Structure 1
């Protein structure tokens, strides 16, 4: 299989020369991308199929067609030469880390150091992590649960089903209609794991990963094979008896639900494992902000608020509900609203090409009115085009009000989580103790 890689919002030229993608492969990948749940969302979805090139949009991940695959990576300024395999390796590492934080998964440092970040695609890296964690979990023992059973036996086991006994076995008392509980591994959690293994076996192209998947499939041979739409996710309960499987359930959910699609594209089969960077960035930052506020008098609400912009005069029906990304509260009072945006900004807020859009500003003004928040923050990823380090890039008053609006950048490629949490504390008003200034 021929593998291609491109950064989001960059193009892959069509053609047969070096660094190009042949037309037949480009057409197949474009067809698969159109079947994604992200197709048609903002700026033409996953791929923009142009006459002379394929242009990636704000969705990252891997698209695979019959004989080729395309890896789309986020534009993160990492300390490596632009366009080098080292750069792509570092970006993959940061992307996997963001996914782990957003999905509340723990990936040990030792496990990360063993991965071939520079040469394996994002998909193969995730498959390898999943296989490694599942192998360790299986060695400790597969989850089991007592399942209610009914069977006709020569000797009593459990309790007698009187109704069935005197209807089915009225003339054959040598068989007893029994009801009993049996400890079984054929439960919802294990069925989810088996379904994930089956899907990844169709998606992976790595010889070593396929070998690991086959070994694990053998372990799950006695577990019922359930189609993905019929999996009972509601029956997968994580408690103290199976806490070690929490990360695996999260990864299986990532592979099997929403972001994962298996589709038909033309004459061949196509698959995709995709993530919307705007949503991923929002969840990643939200979880780190919650860590920053832990142990303080302030609380963090993600995707909360839910206030409405308008109320109909005749019926009282409310319309245009709002869902700010992050609300910082002191008691019942909202003291700060933070909205995340995965896009590059310039140091000038009114830059027509890379500045903050008018719609972003209008949205924050609506939040200021509805939530009575004295402090508003638009938070973007930091990049080398901005002067200085990450942090506050611009401070403004909302005209006629004592409400501040700041544009802030955070460098997701710089330092460990604790470092990023410490830097986030500096931009959160409650943590720094800053009050609201009065405009002069």
Structure 2
């Protein structure tokens, strides 16, 4: 197996690779891959915002393991991810130690196994599941409309529906699927793999998820409270952050976190919590906003803070930018985008929030518009308490500007 190690947003690195492997990396769309013009047989590889681990099975060349490490410490990545998933009861505050890990996959597998062990320590949660089936005896109630439509008046079999108290519920199905996903990936430490296999066996009565279908819905309750941490990590693994598909003959299996999305989710969630004392309501990925009078050009700011009443006018708009990379020929695209948001929402102030190290804090007053665009920077290298304090300070400044 060929293993490639890259760092998020690092300069391109040359690797000696077969042409088929280089083409497979291009087809995956996970990283930037181009033939090296100066070194025959080499490819220049550059990782973007996606971090994690992926196994690519290339016909005729075997499996290529791609490991992409984030620039921020692993523990900080898990804090950002955990806070965005649940600010009041997330995995980041439940004692999962990943500080000694240097790669995303081993850290995630270790964290998930710890959460899963804690969730299953008192046995599997059971619940009622609604089942519809054909049977020769009545159980529950008869679905009369289906009986007439499917059986044309025949007495048997019966179309019935009933509620069954079982372990085959959405929560256990999601945990089983996440454990199976991690067991398929190379790079998971042997002790963690053994424990995951044990947990997977305990969840064997839960039905496997259908590949490509949406995850089953579950609702946080007092009865499944001990599952919450494991379920949130499992959903982060199985949802859009995951990579698992066939691209023609190319097979891709793994999971990736998009640091742009992780940072955006954290900023929006933390701002929403910080603005609670100031009243109003926050909307993440705000909908129903258009630039033009005919509502033809839709806009979706990351975060809009409204007054309390329904239908009230906006008080502030925020866009989170993990990497403030200036593109050639269009260096201030973020400012133009925020200007459009402020114009459409009728606001005199807009806020751009960056990860520190790319853009300094600044305020730009737009000519002939009466609009000021603020650029803020969050230092991701500091401890979580300091990072949340910075967000609260930003919320205070936003609230003061709207008074």
- TM-score w.r.t. the length of structure 1 is 0.73
Alignment equivalent of 1:136, drawn from 118, 127, 131: 118
Counterparts in 2 of 1:19-418, with a 5 A limit? Answer: 21-24=15-18, 28=21, 31=24, 34-35=27-28, 39=29, 46-51=31-36, 52-65=43-56, 66-76=62-72, 91-104=73-86, 106-107=90-91, 111-113=95-97, 116-118=100-102, 121-147=103-129, 167=155, 182-206=164-188, 207-230=190-213, 233-234=216-217, 236-264=218-246, 269-304=251-286, 306-311=288-293, 317-331=294-308, 332-344=312-324, 357-383=331-357, 393-416=361-384, 418=385
- Give, in whole Å, the separation in 2 of the partners of 1:408 and 1:148: 50
Q: Deviations over 1:278-335 (max 9, x none)?
A: 2221111011111211222343221115321124xxxxx5211111112233442323
Q: CA 1:210/1:28 → structure 2, altered by over 3 Å: closer, same or farther?
A: farther
Aligned to 1:85: none
SS of residue paired to 1:94:
helix
Q: Which has the larger Rg?
A: 1
The Cα of 1:414 is off from its aligned counterpart by 1.0
- TM-score w.r.t. the length of structure 2 is 0.79
Q: Deviations over 1:382-436 (max 9, x none)?
A: 02x77xxxxx7212211123321111111122121x4223222333465663579
Unpaired stretches in structure 1, ≥5 consecutive residues: 15-20, 40-44, 77-90, 170-176, 312-316, 346-351, 387-391
Q: CA 1:306/1:412 → structure 2, altered by over 3 Å: closer, same or farther?
A: farther
SS of residue paired to 1:367:
helix
Q: Is the contact between residue 127 and residue 200 of structure 1 (CA under 8 Å) also seen in structure 2?
A: yes
Q: Is the contact between residue 33 and residue 63 of structure 1 (CA under 8 Å) also seen in structure 2?
A: no
Unpaired stretches in structure 2, ≥5 consecutive residues: 37-42, 57-61
The Cα of 1:127 is off from its aligned counterpart by 1.4
The Cα of 1:71 is off from its aligned counterpart by 2.2
The Cα of 1:356 is off from its aligned counterpart by 8.6
- Give, in whole Å, the separation in 1 of the partners of 2:235 and 2:22: 24
State the aligned residue count.
377
Aligned to 1:420: 387
- Give, in whole Å, the separation in 1 of the partners of 2:391 and 2:129: 48
Q: Deviations over 1:357-406 (max 9, x none)?
A: 332222122122111112111111102x77xxxxx721221112332111
Q: Is the contact between residue 29 and residue 69 of structure 1 (CA under 8 Å) also seen in structure 2?
A: no
What is the alpha-carbon root mean square deviation over aligned residues? 3.6
